[in-house]
Amino acid sequence: MKKVLVIGAGGQIGTELVIELRKRFGNEQVIAADVKDECSEALKTGPYVKMDVLDKEFVRSYIQEEKPTDVYLLAALLSATAEKHPEFAWRLNMEGLFTILDLAKEGYIQKIFWPSSIAVFGPTTPRDFTPQYTVMEPTTIYGISKLAGERWCEYYFNKFGVDVRSIRYPGLISYTSLPGGGTTDYAVDIFYHAKKTNSYTSFLNEESALPMMYMEDAIRATIELMEAPKENVKIRSSYNLAGISFTPKQLGDAIANEKDGFKMHYAPDFRQAIADSWPKSIDDTSAQNDWGWKMKYDLTEMVKTMLENVDISKLN
């Protein structure tokens, strides 16, 4: 019987992942875990446990008792926040991973999902159509932690047979739960401001092309990878996922097509340097070939869906 534990369930990915996993496998089969005392309304449809992923003893005893078959470990600090708290980011992004990998090695977990990111690439990586295998010299703490994590995942698979699966997510765009602390967050913020004031000041310059993906596609990719037959998952570090590549200007133009008079302004900050070190577009042929990945949402459809659904009361 499948029993899923999602750690970091309160975050941008976690919230929607729990909702979709509960639809597929049943509310009671999917336990949401996060560091907060209480979960959001969206997660109240099933079990919730308060869990600090750095509290190793608690995580170990909880998992040894509950024996979830699948664990999704999403708790992490994103790129921009990690630059402000490098030591904590390193600890949070790495220690939780070791705890979960070891529990799987000891036989308490059957399958692990751990997210990586386009942040594993750096300024020496080819930036257009970035291949699965290429130069990787990340310059952010977040990117360094994700690249190190990828290497550990592959090591645990090769050495101990731990069934760990991973995706290098592009920037993720969604309306259910706000992102926090990422360099790609402008592509979510923009929709709230477009609806509220019909204008937006981007913290990245107009030419900063980055790979992005609509959340529904990202969640589907995640579950498809986790449900793929083990032998099809040939890459045990992390799979490239392409999504849609666009610049702030192109996103602004697509919004202006839907909203008359929408105006973009630009005030790049420290996040510009992070964006400049990341790929502009990604080659995800391996994901397509190995487990049949196919994206659905293009820019126009994503923009329409976001404008229809963002709730501006969430914006402070």
Catalytically active residues are 142
Assess contact for 262 and 255: CB atoms under 8 A: yes
SS (H, E, C) 237-290: CCEECCCEEECHHHHHHHHHHHCCCCEEEECCCCHHHHHHCCCCCECCHHHHHH
Q: How far is the CB of 171 from ligand SER (least distance, A)?
A: 5
Question: Which CB atom, from 104 or from 212, has the smaller least distance to ligand SER?
Answer: 212
Q: How far is the CB of 36 from ligand SER (least distance, A)?
A: 21
Question: Which CB atom, from 169 or from 191, has the smaller least distance to ligand SER?
Answer: 169
Q: How far is CA 48 from the centre of its chain?
A: 21
The one-letter code for the residue type at 20 is E
The one-letter code for the residue type at 191 is F
Question: Which CB atom, from 51 or from 215, has the smaller least distance to ligand SER?
Answer: 215
Strand partners, 272: none
Q: How far is the CB of 57 from ligand SER (least distance, A)?
A: 29
Residue in this structure with the two tokens 């202006």, named with its chain if needed: 256
Q: How far is CA 287 from CA 98, 122, 276, in A?
A: 25, 21, 25
- Choose among 124, 145, 146: nearest CA to 135: 124
Phi, psi (5° rounding) for residue 107?
A: 95, 10
Question: Which CB atom, from 92 or from 119, has the smaller least distance to ligand SER?
Answer: 119
Q: How far is the CB of 159 from ligand SER (least distance, A)?
A: 27
Interface with ligand SER by CB under 6 A: which residues? 78-79, 117, 119, 142, 169, 171, 182-184
Sign of the Cα pseudo-torsion (299, 304, 305, 307, in order): positive
Q: How far is CA 49 from CA 10, 37, 70, 278, in A?
A: 11, 8, 16, 35
Distance CA 67, CA 46 (A): 17
Q: How far is the CB of 260 from ligand SER (least distance, A)?
A: 30
Q: Which residue is nearest to ligand SER (CB)?
A: 182
Question: Which CB atom, from 102 or from 216, has the smaller least distance to ligand SER?
Answer: 216
Question: Which CB atom, from 78 or from 303, has the smaller least distance to ligand SER?
Answer: 78
End-to-end, the C-alpha distance of the chain in Å comes to: 42
Q: How far is the CB of 224 from ligand SER (least distance, A)?
A: 19
